[in-house]
């Protein structure tokens, strides 16, 4: 298939490369020359604009940092909507607010292009390995159309409902994840301070009502889970600054809906404090460092 791809960063780069490996033809665009070079080396044809990437494509996929980029890439004069053939499906895998996803979907719909929001989980590792999970907001027919394309980049595709619901699912999951990670950090740190062996405590949590992904798979206490970022200096996971971005999306969406999210807002501030201390590049489980005793002179 002929695929237009816009956004070749840490996520988009390997995703496009996997599409090429799966036998698709990819016409790619990014603002960063080095990203273009890498895509070319992987076998992509380069385009001079999002519009050019979309021209002649049978599917267009975008993977961008934030809502303002998505708006620009789709709606500008040299954007995707200006170039794409009527009827061609469009997929945005960026993580953005649901309202912008719906807005893009409506603009696409008005000119006859079906649009799906399809944010991912799995991170850079999943993007490289082709094992991402896609949370897809699309009608049944579009979802079935996209499945073979997405399967070139990921293992699981979940249809969440109509346009925008992919983003809703993503931010609700990460809202809960951001909170439960801090819950685990507080529980582990309290237990350690009170004198229980952390490994013992984690064993109990993981077989009791406290069990959760943040405890049994990504425990923030070093040495509990061999494969967790905590056991390798909090490197190589899901960065705290990315969690901060996603909590911002969740809290903002809640504001727009007049829905209080007490714990979510506090979680956001705690990751913000972590970021302010220069630790935003660590895996988000590094939040446990905020709870460490320090020795300051007074």
Catalytic residue numbers?
170
User: Closer to its own copies at the Cβ: 73 or 250?
Assistant: 250
Q: Give the single-character DSSP code of 196.
A: -
- 169 contacts its own copies (rule: CB under 8 A): yes
- Judged by CB under 8 A, which stretch of 10-18, 140-148, 223-231, 262-270 contacts its own copies? 262-270
> Binders of its own copies: how many residues, by CB under 8 A?
89
- 161 contacts its own copies (rule: CB under 8 A): yes
- Distance in Å, CB of 189 to its own copies, minimum: 6
Cross-strand pairs, 90: 60, 115
Cross-strand pairs, 2: 25
- 188 contacts its own copies (rule: CB under 8 A): yes
User: Closer to its own copies at the Cβ: 227 or 294?
Assistant: 294
**Rounded to an integer, what distance in angstroms lies between the CA atom of residue 51 and that of residue 74?**
8
**Rounded to an integer, what distance in angstroms lies between the CA atom of residue 7 and that of residue 95?**
13
User: Closer to its own copies at the Cβ: 93 or 121?
Assistant: 121
Return the residue of 132, 149, 177, 242 that touches its own copies, per CB under 8 A.
177
Q: Give the single-character DSSP code of 113.
A: -
- 298 contacts its own copies (rule: CB under 8 A): yes
Return the residue of 48, 86, 226, 296 that touches its own copies, per CB under 8 A.
296
**Rounded to an integer, what distance in angstroms lies between the CA atom of residue 18 and that of residue 129?**
8
User: Closer to its own copies at the Cβ: 208 or 227?
Assistant: 208
- Distance in Å, CB of 55 to its own copies, minimum: 30
Q: Token match 């425990």: residue?
A: 219
* Residue 160, phi then psi, degrees to nearest 5: -100, -15
* Residue 119, phi then psi, degrees to nearest 5: -65, 160
- Judged by CB under 8 A, which stretch of 8-16, 74-82, 143-151, 287-295 contacts its own copies? 287-295
Q: CA torsion angle for 234, 124, 122, 213 (degrees, to 10)?
A: 0
Return the residue of 16, 264, 285, 288 that touches its own copies, per CB under 8 A.
264
Interactions with its own copies, residue window 195-254 (CB under 8 A): 195-197, 200-201, 203-205, 207-215, 217-218, 234, 248, 250, 253-254
Cross-strand pairs, 156: 133
Q: Phi/psi zone of residue 32: left (φ > 0), alpha (ψ -120 to 50 degrees), beta? A: beta
Interactions with its own copies, residue window 50-109 (CB under 8 A): 98
Return the residue of 34, 190, 232, 236 that touches its own copies, per CB under 8 A.
190
**Rounded to an integer, what distance in angstroms lies between the CA atom of residue 269 and that of residue 273?**
6
- 293 contacts its own copies (rule: CB under 8 A): yes
**Rounded to an integer, what distance in angstroms lies between the CA atom of residue 60 and that of residue 66?**
18
Mapped onto helix, strand or coil, the DSSP state of residue 61 is: strand
- 272 contacts its own copies (rule: CB under 8 A): yes
- Distance in Å, CB of 72 to its own copies, minimum: 16
Cross-strand pairs, 28: 5, 46
């Amino acid at each position: 298939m002929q695929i237009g791809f816009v956004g070749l960063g840490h996520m988009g780069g390997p995703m496009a490369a996997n599409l090429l490996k799966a036998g698709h033809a990819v016409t790619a665009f990014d603002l960063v020359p080095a990203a273009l070079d890498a895509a070319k080396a992987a076998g992509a044809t380069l385009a001079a604009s999002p519009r050019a990437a979309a021209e002649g494509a049978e599917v267009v996929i975008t993977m961008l940092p934030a809502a303002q980029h998505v708006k620009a890439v789709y709606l500008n004069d040299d954007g995707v909507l200006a170039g794409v053939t009527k009827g061609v499906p469009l997929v945005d895998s960026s993580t953005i607010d649901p309202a912008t996803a719906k807005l893009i979907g409506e603009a696409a719909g008005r000119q006859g292009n079906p649009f799906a929001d399809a944010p991912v989980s799995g991170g850079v590792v999943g993007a490289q390995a082709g094992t991402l999970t896609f949370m897809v907001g699309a009608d049944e027919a579009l979802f079935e159309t996209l499945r073979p394309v997405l399967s070139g980049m990921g293992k699981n595709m979940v249809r969440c409902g109509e346009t925008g619901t992919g983003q809703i699912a993503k931010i609700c999951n990460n809202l809960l994840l951001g909170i439960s990670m801090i819950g685990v950090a507080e529980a582990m740190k309290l237990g350690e301070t009170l004198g229980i062996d952390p490994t013992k405590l984690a064993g109990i949590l993981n077989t009791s009502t406290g069990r959760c992904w943040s405890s049994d798979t990504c425990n923030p206490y070093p040495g509990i889970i061999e494969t967790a970022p905590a056991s390798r200096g909090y490197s190589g996971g899901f960065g705290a600054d990315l969690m901060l971005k996603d909590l911002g999306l969740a809290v903002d969406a809640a504001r727009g809906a007049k829905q209080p999210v007490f714990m979510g807002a506090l979680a956001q501030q705690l990751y913000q404090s972590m970021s302010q201390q220069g630790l935003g590049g660590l895996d988000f489980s590094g939040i446990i460092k905020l709870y460490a005793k320090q020795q300051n002179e007074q």
